[in-house]
Amino acid sequence: MARPRRTEDLAAQLTETIAPRAKSLIITVYGDAVLPHGGSLWLGSLIDLMGLFGMSERIIRTSVFRLCKDDWLTNTQIGRRSFYRVTDSGKERFAAAERRIYAPLAREWDRGWDLLMVPPNALDAETRDALRRELTWQGFGAASATVYAHPNCDEAAMHRSLAELGVADKIVHMKASLDRAEGFGALRDLVRGCWDIDQLEHDYAAFLDHFRPVWAAVDAADTPDPASCFVLRTLMIHDFRRILLRDPMLPPDLLPADWPGQESRMLTRNLYRRLAGPSEAFLMQAATTANGPLPDAQPAFQGRFGGLESIPAG
């Protein structure tokens, strides 16, 4: 049997394979690692952390400037140092994503559906495209040009998005339920027309190929390298988030046999539990705020994925 690879080697390989964009990866770092510790970080610390992914100081400075323009971050200057913290709007967006990313494995479906009805000619072309993009990222599928459907909608996130786009008074939100007397055949056909199930299946399979070797390496290491654990944890959540936020989280009855989505969530949960201790130890040592070292993680951090096990920091 082949010997598991070192976590340091896997971190370098996956950084190259996944090739995340700086702006998007900074969002992942803030949402996954910084926000549980208060949401603020010295720019110098962020530059050092992003350097672990091979990103230059110039691209980090450009990216945080754009994230400020997009109302994700806000800047506070203290002397010659800049500190970037998550805005209130950013916290709302992170909270909506967090409810999906770190949810427990078990999930119930009551056969209910959320339907958004867009009256014909109610929106201009630009607004209609922006609405489609936002609803797609929330897992809605287009049943037609004027109807979007979701079986497990995050209503708070949906209503916030409609308000931000200025269309809350133009869209009709309705509830529907599947007729229990009917089978799933026609609905499965409808699902394939609303969502790109084949692409999601392909992306989840690639995710498993990327991170199964990480599990083998972490499981075999007595004391995995803390910096590499931070890189692997960040890349895993970044890659998982990229897929998950396009996934409508359809019930198993509507999905192909051997659907890799649930297996991907299980691997993410198990790996996160193993990486949390050493990666948190590294983060606490490497990061600085305007008030000194990072504060301890908020209690909700330990509730991710249904509860993180107590893992030695390494």
Which pLDDT tens digit goes with each residue over 113-139? 899 999 888 889 999 999 998 898 888
What value does the mean pLDDT of the chain take? 89
Contact 4, 216 (CB under 8 A): yes
The reported pTM is 0.86
**Residue 260 phi, psi (nearest 5):** -80, -5
Q: Which residues contact 125 (CB under 8 A, 6 or more apart)?
A: none
Cβ burial, residue 80 (10 Å; 0-12/13-18/19+): exposed
Domains of the chain: 1-107+196-313 (1.10.10.10), 112-177 (3.30.70)
pLDDT interval class at 182 (50, 70, 90):
low
State the alpha helices, DSSP H only, in the chain.
Answer: 7-18, 22-29, 43-51, 57-69, 88-101, 125-137, 155-164, 185-194, 197-220, 226-244, 260-286
Contact 267, 211 (CB under 8 A): yes
Q: How do residues 3-37 score in pLDDT, each as one tens digit?
A: 567 888 899 999 999 999 999 999 999 999 999 99
Alpha-carbon distance 35 to 91, whole Å?
A: 8
Which residue, among 188, 165, 170, 168, has the nearest Cα to 178 in the 3D structure?
188
